[in-house]
Amino acid sequence: MITLFRKARQSLISSNKINKYLLYAVGEIALVVFGILIALQINNWNERQILKAKEKEMLIDFRTELLLNLDQTKQHRLLHDRAVHSMNVIVHHIENNLPYHDSLKFHFGDITHIWEQELTAGVFETLKSIGFDLISNKELKNCLLLTYEKDNLVLKESPNRYHDFVAYASKHVFPLRFDQYWYGDRKNPELILEMIPLNYEKLKKDREFIYFLKSLRNQHGWYMANPHEQIQNSMMKCLKLIEKELEITIK
Protein backbone atom coordinates (compact mmCIF):
# COMPACT_ATOMS: atom_id res chain seq x y z
CA MET A 1 0.00 0.00 0.00
CA ILE A 2 2.79 2.39 0.96
CA THR A 3 4.62 1.48 -2.20
CA LEU A 4 1.59 2.35 -4.34
CA PHE A 5 1.20 5.68 -2.52
CA ARG A 6 4.85 6.51 -3.13
CA LYS A 7 4.55 5.64 -6.81
CA ALA A 8 1.43 7.80 -7.16
CA ARG A 9 3.17 10.64 -5.38
CA GLN A 10 6.23 10.37 -7.63
CA SER A 11 3.95 10.25 -10.69
CA LEU A 12 2.17 13.41 -9.52
CA ILE A 13 5.48 15.22 -8.91
CA SER A 14 6.70 14.16 -12.34
CA SER A 15 3.44 15.37 -13.94
CA ASN A 16 3.75 18.74 -12.17
CA LYS A 17 7.31 19.11 -13.44
CA ILE A 18 6.17 18.39 -17.00
CA ASN A 19 3.38 20.95 -16.70
CA LYS A 20 5.85 23.51 -15.37
CA TYR A 21 8.20 22.80 -18.25
CA LEU A 22 5.31 23.10 -20.72
CA LEU A 23 4.18 26.38 -19.20
CA TYR A 24 7.74 27.64 -19.27
CA ALA A 25 8.14 26.59 -22.91
CA VAL A 26 4.83 28.20 -23.89
CA GLY A 27 5.88 31.37 -22.08
CA GLU A 28 9.22 31.41 -23.88
CA ILE A 29 7.51 30.92 -27.24
CA ALA A 30 5.01 33.67 -26.45
CA LEU A 31 7.84 36.05 -25.53
CA VAL A 32 9.66 35.23 -28.75
CA VAL A 33 6.50 35.75 -30.86
CA PHE A 34 5.71 38.97 -29.01
CA GLY A 35 9.26 40.17 -29.60
CA ILE A 36 9.02 39.36 -33.29
CA LEU A 37 5.71 41.24 -33.58
CA ILE A 38 7.16 44.26 -31.79
CA ALA A 39 10.21 44.16 -34.06
CA LEU A 40 7.97 43.96 -37.16
CA GLN A 41 5.90 46.88 -35.96
CA ILE A 42 9.02 48.94 -35.32
CA ASN A 43 10.38 47.94 -38.73
CA ASN A 44 7.08 48.84 -40.43
CA TRP A 45 6.99 52.14 -38.55
CA ASN A 46 10.54 52.88 -39.67
CA GLU A 47 9.68 52.03 -43.28
CA ARG A 48 6.61 54.29 -43.14
CA GLN A 49 8.73 57.11 -41.76
CA ILE A 50 11.28 56.61 -44.54
CA LEU A 51 8.51 56.66 -47.17
CA LYS A 52 6.99 59.77 -45.61
CA ALA A 53 10.38 61.46 -45.68
CA LYS A 54 10.84 60.49 -49.35
CA GLU A 55 7.34 61.70 -50.17
CA LYS A 56 7.97 65.02 -48.43
CA GLU A 57 11.25 65.46 -50.30
CA MET A 58 9.50 64.63 -53.57
CA LEU A 59 6.70 67.12 -52.87
CA ILE A 60 9.24 69.87 -52.15
CA ASP A 61 11.01 69.08 -55.43
CA PHE A 62 7.68 69.12 -57.27
CA ARG A 63 6.83 72.49 -55.76
CA THR A 64 10.13 73.94 -57.01
CA GLU A 65 9.74 72.45 -60.48
CA LEU A 66 6.09 73.46 -60.83
CA LEU A 67 6.84 77.04 -59.79
CA LEU A 68 9.55 77.25 -62.45
CA ASN A 69 7.23 75.78 -65.09
CA LEU A 70 4.42 78.08 -64.00
CA ASP A 71 6.66 81.12 -64.30
CA GLN A 72 7.78 80.05 -67.77
CA THR A 73 4.18 79.46 -68.83
CA LYS A 74 3.17 82.91 -67.61
CA GLN A 75 6.01 84.44 -69.63
CA HIS A 76 4.77 82.59 -72.71
CA ARG A 77 1.23 83.79 -72.03
CA LEU A 78 2.49 87.38 -72.08
CA LEU A 79 3.96 86.76 -75.53
CA HIS A 80 0.72 85.16 -76.68
CA ASP A 81 -1.26 88.13 -75.39
CA ARG A 82 1.09 90.46 -77.27
CA ALA A 83 0.47 88.56 -80.50
CA VAL A 84 -3.30 88.64 -80.06
CA HIS A 85 -3.14 92.34 -79.20
CA SER A 86 -1.30 92.98 -82.48
CA MET A 87 -3.90 90.98 -84.41
CA ASN A 88 -6.68 93.04 -82.81
CA VAL A 89 -4.88 96.30 -83.58
CA ILE A 90 -4.51 95.40 -87.26
CA VAL A 91 -8.12 94.19 -87.55
CA HIS A 92 -9.28 97.42 -85.90
CA HIS A 93 -7.27 99.54 -88.36
CA ILE A 94 -8.57 97.62 -91.35
CA GLU A 95 -12.23 97.56 -90.30
CA ASN A 96 -12.19 101.26 -89.43
CA ASN A 97 -10.19 102.26 -92.53
CA LEU A 98 -7.52 103.94 -90.40
CA PRO A 99 -4.34 105.34 -91.99
CA TYR A 100 -0.99 103.59 -91.81
CA HIS A 101 1.21 104.26 -88.82
CA ASP A 102 4.85 103.25 -88.46
CA SER A 103 4.05 101.19 -85.35
CA LEU A 104 1.95 98.84 -87.48
CA LYS A 105 5.07 97.21 -88.90
CA PHE A 106 5.79 95.80 -85.42
CA HIS A 107 2.21 94.56 -85.06
CA PHE A 108 2.45 92.82 -88.43
CA GLY A 109 5.68 91.22 -87.21
CA ASP A 110 4.16 90.14 -83.88
CA ILE A 111 1.30 88.20 -85.45
CA THR A 112 3.79 85.66 -86.81
CA HIS A 113 5.39 84.84 -83.48
CA ILE A 114 5.39 81.15 -82.54
CA TRP A 115 6.38 79.93 -79.06
CA GLU A 116 6.66 76.29 -78.19
CA GLN A 117 6.84 75.05 -74.64
CA GLU A 118 7.20 71.73 -72.89
CA LEU A 119 7.22 71.32 -69.14
CA THR A 120 10.46 70.50 -67.38
CA ALA A 121 9.64 67.06 -65.99
CA GLY A 122 12.75 65.78 -64.20
CA VAL A 123 10.98 65.30 -60.86
CA PHE A 124 8.03 63.59 -62.54
CA GLU A 125 10.34 61.15 -64.32
CA THR A 126 12.01 60.38 -60.99
CA LEU A 127 8.62 59.67 -59.42
CA LYS A 128 7.73 57.46 -62.38
CA SER A 129 10.86 55.36 -61.77
CA ILE A 130 10.15 55.10 -58.03
CA GLY A 131 6.43 54.43 -58.35
CA PHE A 132 3.39 56.71 -58.17
CA ASP A 133 2.23 55.02 -54.95
CA LEU A 134 4.79 57.13 -53.12
CA ILE A 135 2.26 59.98 -53.34
CA SER A 136 -0.31 59.08 -50.71
CA ASN A 137 -2.88 61.74 -51.65
CA LYS A 138 -4.91 60.29 -54.53
CA GLU A 139 -6.19 63.67 -55.70
CA LEU A 140 -2.66 65.06 -55.86
CA LYS A 141 -1.40 61.96 -57.66
CA ASN A 142 -4.12 62.31 -60.31
CA CYS A 143 -3.41 66.03 -60.64
CA LEU A 144 0.28 65.40 -61.31
CA LEU A 145 -0.50 62.68 -63.84
CA LEU A 146 -2.99 64.93 -65.66
CA THR A 147 -0.58 67.88 -65.71
CA TYR A 148 2.60 66.10 -66.76
CA GLU A 149 1.15 63.54 -69.14
CA LYS A 150 -2.11 64.73 -70.72
CA ASP A 151 -1.86 68.54 -70.47
CA ASN A 152 1.86 68.60 -71.22
CA LEU A 153 1.30 66.50 -74.35
CA VAL A 154 -1.35 68.96 -75.57
CA LEU A 155 0.96 71.88 -74.74
CA LYS A 156 3.73 70.27 -76.76
CA GLU A 157 1.75 69.17 -79.82
CA SER A 158 -0.91 71.88 -80.26
CA PRO A 159 1.51 74.58 -81.53
CA ASN A 160 2.39 72.30 -84.46
CA ARG A 161 -0.97 72.99 -86.12
CA TYR A 162 -0.61 76.71 -85.47
CA HIS A 163 2.93 76.57 -86.83
CA ASP A 164 1.63 74.94 -90.03
CA PHE A 165 -0.89 77.74 -90.45
CA VAL A 166 1.79 80.43 -90.13
CA ALA A 167 4.24 78.48 -92.30
CA TYR A 168 1.62 78.30 -95.06
CA ALA A 169 1.14 82.06 -94.82
CA SER A 170 4.88 82.67 -95.06
CA LYS A 171 4.84 81.00 -98.47
CA HIS A 172 1.43 81.91 -99.88
CA VAL A 173 0.09 84.99 -98.07
CA PHE A 174 3.00 87.22 -97.07
CA PRO A 175 5.31 87.25 -100.15
CA LEU A 176 3.05 89.43 -102.33
CA ARG A 177 1.98 91.70 -99.49
CA PHE A 178 5.10 92.48 -97.43
CA ASP A 179 8.66 93.51 -98.20
CA GLN A 180 10.11 90.62 -96.19
CA TYR A 181 9.27 88.05 -93.53
CA TRP A 182 10.59 88.33 -89.96
CA TYR A 183 12.89 91.30 -90.34
CA GLY A 184 14.39 92.42 -87.04
CA ASP A 185 17.27 92.33 -84.59
CA ARG A 186 17.84 88.63 -83.86
CA LYS A 187 20.19 89.54 -80.99
CA ASN A 188 17.39 91.31 -79.17
CA PRO A 189 16.08 88.97 -76.44
CA GLU A 190 12.55 90.26 -77.00
CA LEU A 191 12.85 89.56 -80.75
CA ILE A 192 11.01 92.63 -82.00
CA LEU A 193 10.00 91.73 -85.53
CA GLU A 194 9.00 93.99 -88.40
CA MET A 195 6.86 93.35 -91.47
CA ILE A 196 6.20 96.37 -93.69
CA PRO A 197 3.26 96.06 -96.13
CA LEU A 198 4.02 96.82 -99.77
CA ASN A 199 0.68 98.55 -100.22
CA TYR A 200 -1.23 99.20 -97.00
CA GLU A 201 -4.28 100.75 -98.69
CA LYS A 202 -4.64 97.75 -100.94
CA LEU A 203 -4.09 95.40 -97.98
CA LYS A 204 -7.06 96.93 -96.13
CA LYS A 205 -9.33 95.71 -98.93
CA ASP A 206 -7.61 92.35 -99.39
CA ARG A 207 -10.24 89.73 -98.46
CA GLU A 208 -7.75 86.85 -98.54
CA PHE A 209 -5.46 88.58 -96.03
CA ILE A 210 -8.36 89.66 -93.80
CA TYR A 211 -9.65 86.09 -93.79
CA PHE A 212 -6.19 84.81 -92.92
CA LEU A 213 -5.73 87.34 -90.11
CA LYS A 214 -9.06 86.63 -88.42
CA SER A 215 -8.57 82.90 -88.82
CA LEU A 216 -5.08 83.19 -87.35
CA ARG A 217 -6.56 84.85 -84.30
CA ASN A 218 -9.01 81.97 -83.90
CA GLN A 219 -6.27 79.39 -84.43
CA HIS A 220 -4.17 81.12 -81.81
CA GLY A 221 -6.96 80.79 -79.26
CA TRP A 222 -7.46 77.07 -79.91
CA TYR A 223 -3.87 75.91 -80.32
CA MET A 224 -1.81 78.36 -78.27
CA ALA A 225 -3.81 80.22 -75.62
CA ASN A 226 -6.15 77.42 -74.50
CA PRO A 227 -3.43 74.76 -73.86
CA HIS A 228 -1.37 77.29 -71.88
CA GLU A 229 -4.37 78.33 -69.81
CA GLN A 230 -5.32 74.70 -69.14
CA ILE A 231 -1.88 73.61 -67.98
CA GLN A 232 -1.44 76.78 -65.95
CA ASN A 233 -4.66 76.01 -64.06
CA SER A 234 -3.58 72.39 -63.56
CA MET A 235 -0.20 73.41 -62.16
CA MET A 236 -1.81 75.89 -59.76
CA LYS A 237 -4.18 73.18 -58.54
CA CYS A 238 -1.25 70.77 -57.97
CA LEU A 239 0.67 73.45 -56.08
CA LYS A 240 -2.26 74.07 -53.73
CA LEU A 241 -2.57 70.33 -53.03
CA ILE A 242 1.19 70.08 -52.42
CA GLU A 243 1.12 72.98 -49.96
CA LYS A 244 -1.75 71.31 -48.11
CA GLU A 245 0.14 67.99 -47.93
CA LEU A 246 3.32 69.67 -46.70
CA GLU A 247 1.35 71.41 -43.95
CA ILE A 248 0.06 68.02 -42.82
CA THR A 249 3.53 66.42 -42.81
CA ILE A 250 4.99 69.35 -40.85
CA LYS A 251 2.31 68.95 -38.17
Output the tens digit of pLDDT for each of the chain's 251 residues. 555 445 545 554 555 555 556 566 666 676 666 667 666 666 655 666 677 889 999 999 999 999 999 998 888 888 888 889 999 999 999 999 999 999 999 999 888 877 777 899 999 999 999 899 899 999 999 999 999 999 998 888 888 888 888 888 989 999 999 988 765 454 554 556 889 999 999 999 999 999 999 999 999 988 888 898 999 999 999 999 999 988 876 55
Domain-embedded: residue 15:
no
Domain-embedded: residue 49:
no
Domain-embedded: residue 178:
yes
Domain-embedded: residue 174:
yes
| DSSP type of residue 100 | P
Domain-embedded: residue 177:
yes
The reported pTM is 0.75
Domain-embedded: residue 47:
no
> CA 101, CA 189: separation in Å to the nearest integer?
25
Domain-embedded: residue 46:
no
Domain range spanning residue 211?
A: 54-250
Mark out the alpha helices in the chain (DSSP H runs).
2-95, 104-110, 122-130, 138-145, 152-172, 200-203, 207-220, 226-250
Contact between 198 and 178 (Cβ < 8 Å): yes
Per the structure, the count of domains in the chain is: 1
Domain-embedded: residue 212:
yes
